Amino acid sequence: MSILKQKIEELQNRKAKTMLGGGEKSIAKQKEMGKKTARERIDALLDKDSFLEYDLFIQHEAREFGMLGKEMPADGVIIGTGKINNNTVAVFAQDFTVAGGSLGFMHAKKITKIMDVALNNRIPLIGINDSGGARIQEGVGALAGYGEIFYRNTISSGVIPQLSVILGPCAGGAVYSPALTDFVFVVEGVSKMFITGPDVIKTVLGEEISQEDLGGARVHSEISGNAHFCAQTEEECFNQIRTLLDYIPQNNNKESIIKAEAKEPVAKTKIETIVPDDPKIPYDVRELIKSVTDGSDFFEVQAAFAPNIVIGYGRINGETIGFIANQPDALAGVLDCDSADKAARFIRFCDSFNIPLVTFEDLPGYLPGIEQEHMGVIRHGAKILYAYSEATVPRITVILRKAYGGGYIAMNSRHLQADFVFAWPLAEIAVMGAEGAANVIFRKDIAGAENPVEERSRKIQEYKDKFANPYVAAGKGFVDAVIEPCETRKYLIHALDICKNKKVERPCKKHGNPPF
């Protein structure tokens, strides 16, 4: 056998051994939990045969607590580059079969290397997290590693899309890094996210809770809002990632936007029949979005969290649009702490990546109440004002029905410098609904009337006649056009075309100070 042949054989043996990760027993345990291995995940996510791995032979340098000489194949994380939908991406996948995917100093060095590759080459970063967080035996070396990762997450924010996939019990830094990224994907029964797991909670606080109840997929996609997409299986999750990457650009350069082929909507429901005339009757605003998008496609983000606002992607004339819409089907579409947070972060992502915004408005205002006030609805509610005002991408609003009070201003009003505001004939733009308004401003007239019930009805009608229409706002130029529902897509196409070279200057500053 030639020397080269011997060396190649040695390489192949070394590779095969390292690629086994924590070994067959640990892999079997991973499978019992319904999980794929880290390598299977990369293969399942990326285009066939497109992955190229870096740093397979990295060695850890820990010495304490029996770590000296302990083998940690690939130090528990796989990194590399490949393709999804034929576009390049950078990927890391933590290997739970090696010390629970815990992050030591060299493991972190691998992740930061691939993060640098992603940023320097302006390609999306996808992190598959399956890790117990900082490797306890490595102490400050592990903490340092997480610091380096958080720094890069922050610096890359707004330059390249960063996607985090949670595919196992993830603790500590393994959830803080995802929290700094743009989108978090979870899978039911597989994903768990917490700062510290149930064991530590029991020791420190004496409280008992399962991993699932503490930080399962449903907890984070419905209650905490930490997750953006929830799937039933890892395969479905990877499909969601592929779909998302089809809508968003590779980076924040305008040239990286890929236009799709334009298509007409195919929704069967007629747009005029979606929104009931009576402002108190709810409906599903997603039907309305689908009635204007190409092929009636709509890819919803954070569907189960704060359902009173709907956010997501669709296309108009081949171009990706970020939709934000009050959802009358949930809490009448009010703005509250969670819905304001949800919309604001989405608006900022779209603005960073040159994705135009279309807003559909139908809401009674901000949600009043002690709970909301004490949760900080002032601070949270201000985020949506800030996000819209700051955004320089094309911004178009269609007022469908109710546009009351602070809600009217917040939902991308002309006063926050929307590029176009259209209103349907059903639109009511006022400080509040006619009933509430009559109770306040005509209280004395109603109380002093011979027949207070009749007087109240008269006053409500008087207020409605004056304000429950789009024409007062249109008369002041706050609404550019009152349009028929069937004209909505036509007006949106026109407005987006007008705005395609939009350029607005902002005062020179280091950065703003949004109400985080």
Q: Which residues bind ligand HXC (CB under 6 A)?
A: 99-100, 102, 132-136, 143, 146, 169, 171-173, 176, 196-197, 199-200
Task: Give the span between the Cα atoms of 361 and 388, in whole angstroms.
Answer: 14
CA neighbor of 352 nearest in space, from 190, 139, 64, 124: 124
Query: Least Å distance between CB 195 and ligand HXC?
Result: 7
Task: Give the span between the Cα atoms of 258 and 285, in whole angstroms.
Answer: 27
Task: Give the span between the Cα atoms of 132 and 272, in whole angstroms.
Answer: 52
Query: Least Å distance between CB 29 and ligand HXC?
Result: 8
252 Cβ contact list (under 8 Å, min separation 6): 122, 158, 159, 160, 352, 353, 354
3-state secondary structure 169-199: EEECHHHHHHHHCCEEEEECCCCEEECCCHH
Closer to ligand HXC by Cβ: residue 102 or 326: 102
Query: Least Å distance between CB 142 and ligand HXC?
Result: 7
Query: Least Å distance between CB 460 and ligand HXC?
Result: 54
Asked if 249 contacts 85 with a C-beta cutoff of 8 angstroms, the reply is: no
Closer to ligand HXC by Cβ: residue 73 or 80: 73
Closer to ligand HXC by Cβ: residue 133 or 470: 133
Query: Least Å distance between CB 225 and ligand HXC?
Result: 19
Counting Cα atoms < 13 Å in the Cβ hemisphere of 323 gives 34
Closer to ligand HXC by Cβ: residue 81 or 131: 131
Asked if 72 contacts 110 with a C-beta cutoff of 8 angstroms, the reply is: no
Pairing mode of beta strands 309-316, 299-301: antiparallel
Closer to ligand HXC by Cβ: residue 82 or 100: 100
Tokens of 349: 């992502």
Closer to ligand HXC by Cβ: residue 115 or 311: 115
Query: Least Å distance between CB 188 and ligand HXC?
Result: 16
Query: Least Å distance between CB 224 and ligand HXC?
Result: 16
Tell me which DSSP letter residue 366 carries.
Answer: B
Closer to ligand HXC by Cβ: residue 139 or 436: 139
Give the H or E element holding residue 343: helix 337-352
Closer to ligand HXC by Cβ: residue 130 or 419: 130
Query: Least Å distance between CB 14 and ligand HXC?
Result: 23
Query: Least Å distance between CB 196 and ligand HXC?
Result: 5
Q: How far apart are the first and last CA of the chain?
A: 65
DSSP 63-79: -TTTTTT---GGGGEEE
Q: Can you give the C-alpha Rg of the chain in angstroms?
A: 27
363: three-class secondary structure by DSSP: strand
Tell me which DSSP letter residue 81 carries.
Answer: E
Closer to ligand HXC by Cβ: residue 195 or 409: 195
Query: Least Å distance between CB 61 and ligand HXC?
Result: 15
Closer to ligand HXC by Cβ: residue 23 or 376: 23
Task: Give the span between the Cα atoms of 499 and 493, in whole angstroms.
Answer: 10
Rounded to the nearest 5 degrees, what angle is found at the Cα of 244, between the Cα atoms of 83 and 485?
A: 145
